[in-house]
Structure 1
């Protein structure tokens, strides 16, 4: 490979000490000598990183020193890449304001600014008014990320939130817009958003417990202390996520409770915060539904009644129990309904068929439907939504791997489409210089796996081109074939950029997701390997020219394919990788473990699930074999994929592997799951990854 062994002047790779530790489940005893990297006081560390034990901190800092030394020669390349990517961003960019009553609300950046500013403009004309300046709020903080920002329906106040640790414990504040000052109200340890009651005298919010779980919904009355907030609902099952949201009509507050396969909604009038929430449909394992406003009815998107790809029902708001549901849009196998939006005269749905998205508009009075779609071979389409219910205009975005994002307003009555904005690429972009296509790779069981590909028109596809192959494949998340200015820095250097739409996502319908979860999880990994082999078989690239990349659950994918087919990849990039799956799923105290059991299986309760997860869990399947160069990235305060997962994985890889390729571990000591919080700081992280990829294939 193109990574040289460290010179004598460079530090040796850190060797993590081994401490005796073992655990037994279902008659199986496992030793885990790197378990000590899991801070016993992890809850405290999330809130105050300074409380991390000196031994763990010393090891993580040694990892950072090692990767910094080995990549020191890439500094100029990283600067060049950063400058290129920054040059493709309109620094003083601004969103198209979204109308709501007498104002339109939007966000913008200033030249050199890391954080967004939120503004509003009077719809009848007048000067722009800054209601929240993210750069000002972030000043002097090593990490700062804004959460939800929501104005009251009387347009007098703003509820906003921030996280200054990276641990996703958000603090809520209330701002008086006219004076630009925050009220004394301060609400800590929330999920990051607040929703106004109908009278604009208080907000509903989700509180996180010490284990970072959204366990309670409160109503906060302006002027009260947090200790006086009224408990609206408490979820006692740690296996469920919870959220709260309001409707655009300000009529209802929705409390959503779900895991990865089951949903329950509770509703209460937004004008009566003291009301007891009413259950719409009690939770029933395997039954999912989403609630949407519709005036005198609720629209319900659900898989009930065997509707695997979902159908749409209506229910009277006066009594929305399942026995009162009426089918409006029936289930159609192979047409996956992804989302719905209700308006006074229309119902809009976003759906996916034959692997491509489309928007369908339905006139409520007549039931007549029409479709918004595009002709490209691979593209991304998204509903932006609306702040208003009584409107005939929706907003949507469109892009492809060669086409910069376009924002449209669409009048559902006249069917007139208005282009509001095209993404600007200040350094220039000519779509004619690039080629995008969709391929199908045959998996080992015969299924055809879609692959989206982007390359420069001058790149020769003769087997010599390097390739960045990206994958995710979990939670039903579909990776769109959308425009990405960052990857052009690789594509312009001769890379093929490819997205593997593997099982575990919903790219080919809900069944595609089912075939890549729980007992079928290994198909996700085999699909990705099959895509890599297909790209080689089609003479697009070669195995030692493929850099595989994935983050979070996609990082788990990276860990699995590294064990299963290390010879098929020239290098692997695993960002915030979920690689210690078995141990995490055995630890019910961790924030996401109980809610994740439906996705992966519950190894605490089931010996079968234990065996299945153990058979592919990346950390548990590291073998004495050659591995390609590997780069792992993490954040110290990450509550989703805890820092010790990649730390343990890297330690065991170095212990077991039989080659001299480097394993690098870069941990951000001031950030969490999303990495650096500023838009330019994030580009620096991407430049670091791309420099690694270029070096791996000899492009530097």
Structure 2
């Protein structure tokens, strides 16, 4: 009904109907007089926001004192809430629901715009899309979607069918069927057994990241076992097609143990128990399936154990004992293990080799020396080949090495900014490697590459059903000067008709933590902004590895402030170089990128018109001081330990967004949250928005939208998640003034 009403009528109806969840969490929207000249922002500011009750809690820590007036929003029973959201404390639920009601009232006039953006994005996605099949023995495996389907279908076909009947597709797992009747569904690992008879798969139905592991007999299509409902979703098959190794998640949400279990057995056997709460545990298989791998790691320290995949009952072999700030990983080839490591001060990593049957540290020998500024990001192993991916000045490249001769060659690409992906596939004894290429304007292209002949075969080009011409867009790479003289790479995408004269609004996206580097990749979602005249920019700031591992080290711990200052510097450079103007930008980031947004608007609030912080990590000092939370001990090497280290406390306190809110003018802010999010708990954005709204000197918008049935990634269905993006984009367009005319046009059309 409301979508058929003109914008003013829709807003007025919501204003009249909205009611406060309680007297403590705010009031309903006020009925105010509106005029046709009012902008969407003006109208939104007529609506009263919830006011969270302040219950000051004084915290003494390392001789320092802080007061947290919104600490009550953290449910003491949060572990149980992750598993059963219905047990959330009543006053907390009332506040979150009041925030959602306020958000809905503010954004109601943009509902038709949200729907248009959603349909645009959906129109760029081939709904019955499928992956390029990957061969494994007698079958080729692939993933596809059906028209209108929310979830993937996992399937296979025979490679050489003896008859047309045998050529029929076999559906292994149907996501739409599994999702029937439930609100949330996320698949973890999905892997067929080496003999192709069984399928093991992990699934989370709450958003809490506790996964069940189920076994399906592919000859009958029947599920024959559920091994656990307390896994991380990570598991690996042994070569007997009977034994699985899986990772257990404890009550605090941490990966702690590896169990060995027969697919038909009720009981499991403990194989490995990680004693350090700061380490993550994973399992996998080597490329040639010689070993099952148990990997344990902190953010900058790693350790590997190997179990003979042909003798799964054997004890794990320790490759090299953990050493603080030393990282290594193993890739199997027909020539032995190749080890990617920063051993001996190789900041940007070197490549070493060890025999398959003697992989211990004392047997490592250098194959490719460390080259400062050239970061080796990954290795792929084959029987006769080793492939490595490198990055220099934020651009990747692929190097192929023939193991017998040692000869190498590079696969070259021409665009100014682009992204590459590599895939070893299932086959080990092959000359074919698969890679993908894309840029912000060029949809993904998937190639099979013959490493011997150096010929590439295009297997798939991402189809944009609604039409897309890369020539309509401009991709640029600029270097922005940082406060200390460093040069920050910034990738730009804009429509060729957008004027580059300082008048265009701009969205500045960033992340900048954990060494994660945001690629210059093709995404269908930003096009809805770009086609409306916005410039979309990605700041490759410190804290990532865009310019090498040192770029990461310069954006963590005591250097963390560089991440936020780089983001601000990137925005200022875009103004100085005439791409946009001050106060005409929207800052956007999620998770640790939400921390980036929160810190940036504290540093330079007038640079931005709006800010979108998705599931933002904004309560840093409190979270890093709570060792019961899932990610706190593992992340002390990233942020510092403010429980024991006064310098770490002071460093975090200097930038923590929640602790640095001031009585100043801020941009319009939208924060999002997931009630069952174990990574960034819901109370972080809830507390941040409550304090920001109560403290800011202006009357700008402070909105929060909580998904009451999802976790860190938001809605799980592919179309449901696009609706959340459409809402974010509508907010962004509203804050820079690009939504008003379009909303008026849609309202007029609806009225007629």
Look up the match of 2:196.
155
| Aligned counterpart, 2:636 | 597
Which residue of the partner structure matches residue 554 of structure 1? 593
Q: Deviations over 1:589-638 (max 9, x none)?
A: 10000110111111111001011001111101111111110000110000
Is 1:567 aligned to 2:603, yes or no? no
- Alignment partner of 2:571: what SS? helix
Aligned to 1:666: 705
Counterparts of 2:56 and 2:478, CA distance in 1: 49
* 2:214 maps to 1:178: no
Cα distance, 1:248 vs structure 2: 3.7
Q: 1:348 to 1:634 in 2, by over 3 A?
A: same
Q: Which residue number in structure 2 is paired with residue 640 of structure 1?
A: 679
Q: CA deviation at 1:271?
A: 2.2
2:394 touches 2:540 (CA, 8 Å); kept in 1? no
The corresponding residue for 2:350 is 311
What residue in structure 1 maps to residue 308 of structure 2?
269
Distance 1:478 1:73 in 2: 36
Aligned twin of 1:63:
99
**Corresponding residue number in structure 1 for 2:120:** 84
Which of 55, 67, 71 pairs up with 1:19? Answer: 55
Rounded to whole Å, the distance in 1 between the matches of 2:390 and 2:134 is: 23
Q: Distance in 1 between matches of 2:125 and 2:650?
A: 47
**Structure 1 SS opposite 2:586:** strand
2:239 corresponds in structure 1 to 198
Contact 2:618 2:658 in 1 (8 A): yes
Shift of 1:268: 1.1
Cα offset, 1:186, TM superposition? 3.5
**Which structure 2 residues correspond to residues 1-40 of structure 1 after superposition, within 5 A?**
3-4=41-42, 6=44, 10=47, 12-40=48-76
SS in 2 for 1:506: coil
The runs of at least 4 aligned residues of structure 1 exceeding 4 Å deviation read 5-8
Where does residue 208 of structure 2 map in the other structure? 167
Residue 224 of structure 1 aligns with which residue? Answer: 265
Q: Who is 1:440 aligned against?
A: 479
Whether the 8 Å CA contact 1:102–1:123 is kept in 2: the answer is yes
Q: Partner of 2:28 in structure 1?
A: none
1:25 deviates by 1.1
Structure 1 counterpart SS, 2:42: coil
Note if 1:134 corresponds to 2:172: no
The residue number in structure 2 matching 1:74 is 110
Q: Is the 8 A contact 1:2 1:697 kept in 2?
A: no
Partner of 1:105: 141
Q: Residue 570 of structure 1: SS of its match in structure 2?
A: strand
Matched residues in 1 for 2:435 and 2:357: separation?
32
Greater shift after overlay, 550-559 or 314-323?
A: 314-323
What do residues 662-691 of structure 1 show as CA deviations (whole Å, max 9, x unaligned)? 100000000000111010001100000000
Q: What SS does the corresponding residue of 2:507 show, helix, strand or coil? A: strand
Match status 1:120 vs 2:156: yes
TM-score (norm 1): 0.98
Is the Cα contact below 8 Å between 2:287 and 2:333 reproduced in 1? no
User: Residue 414 in 1 paired to residue 450 in 2?
Assistant: no
* Partner of residue 748, structure 2: none
The CA deviation string for residues 538-560 of structure 1, in whole angstroms up to 9 with x for no partner, is 11111221011000000000010
SS at match of 2:484: coil
CA distance in 2, matches of 1:289, 1:164: 34
Please say if residues 185 and 223 of structure 1, whose CA atoms lie closer than 8 Å, have aligned partners that are also in contact. no
d(CA) in 2 for partners of 1:466 and 1:168? 37
Alpha-carbon offset, residue 6 of structure 1: 4.4
C-alpha RMSD of matched pairs (Å): 1.1
Q: Is 1:655 aligned with 2:715?
A: no
Q: 2:410 aligns with which of 364, 371, 374?
A: 371
User: How many residue pairs end up in the alignment?
Assistant: 696
Change (3 A) 1:118 1:443: same
Match 1:457 to one of 491, 496, 521:
496
Q: Secondary structure at the match of 1:543?
A: coil
Residue deviations 1:284-315, cap 9 Å, x none?
00100111112462211000011111011111
* Equivalent pair of 1:300/1:312 in contact (CA under 8 Å): yes
Q: 2:624 aligns with which of 558, 582, 585?
A: 585
* TM-score, reference length from structure 2: 0.91
CA distance in 2, matches of 1:74, 1:348: 49
Distance 2:200 2:629 in 1: 29
- For 1:423 and 1:184, the matched residues in 2 are separated by 37
- Aligned to 1:542, what secondary structure does the other structure show? coil
1:478 matched to 2:517? The reply is yes
Alpha carbons 1:5, 1:661 under 8 Å: kept? no
2: CA distance between counterparts of 1:479 and 1:133? Answer: 31
Aligned counterpart, 2:660 = 621
Give, in whole Å, the separation in 1 of the partners of 2:43 and 2:533: 26
Identify if the C-alpha distance between structure 1 residues 485 and 666 changes in structure 2 by more than 3 Å, giving closer, same or farther.
same
Q: Show the counterpart of 1:234.
A: 273
Aligned-partner Cα distance in 1 for 2:281–2:574: 41
Gapped runs of 5+ residues in structure 2? 1-38, 162-166, 740-752
